[in-house]
Amino acid sequence: MLSELVQLSFDKIMQTRSYTVVILGAEGKRFAIYTDPSIGKALQMYLTGQEKARPLTHDLIDTIFQALKIRIKQVVISDLQDTVYFARLYLEMRHEDLRHIVEVDSRPSDCIILALMNNAPVFCTRDVLDRTIPIEE
């Protein structure tokens, strides 16, 4: 069954010691994804252009993708169960005249960092957007 996709925008990130809140929005609705503080720190480092002494995990993944000529096509937040979001990372590999799309189960927080690093769009299904709890400022 195909589901309508809604493009999301990255709104902001809020960090505490015990968790990170990533705020996403679409169609006038904003919602939060809670994640590990290390993800928030990595995201903040990327967004602020902060120098890192060594490559972080997302940098490693991105470097591997570039070396293998794998492009991040898109990210889709595909499900919401209780308060846990699920995402799919779509990767495009080309070999001569063949184009191969690989779909990988991923945490939305990891996908968002990779999408921002590669200027790839982030979507969610209409069903997920309808079931998110909207947040106010």
What DSSP line would sit under 76-119, residue for residue?
Answer: EEEEEETTEEEEEEEEEEEETTEEEEEEEEE-HHHHHHHHHHHT
Domains of the chain and any CATH numbers: 5-131 (3.10.690.10)
Query: Per-residue pLDDT averaged across 116-137, rounded?
Result: 92
From the list 59, 9, 61, 2, the residue with the least C-alpha distance to 30 is 9
CA distances from 111 to 25, 104, 115 (A): 16, 10, 6
Tokens linked to 108? 């939305």
Looking at the predicted structure, is the pLDDT value of residue 1 above 60? Answer: no
Q: How confident is the model at residue 30, as a pLDDT?
A: 95
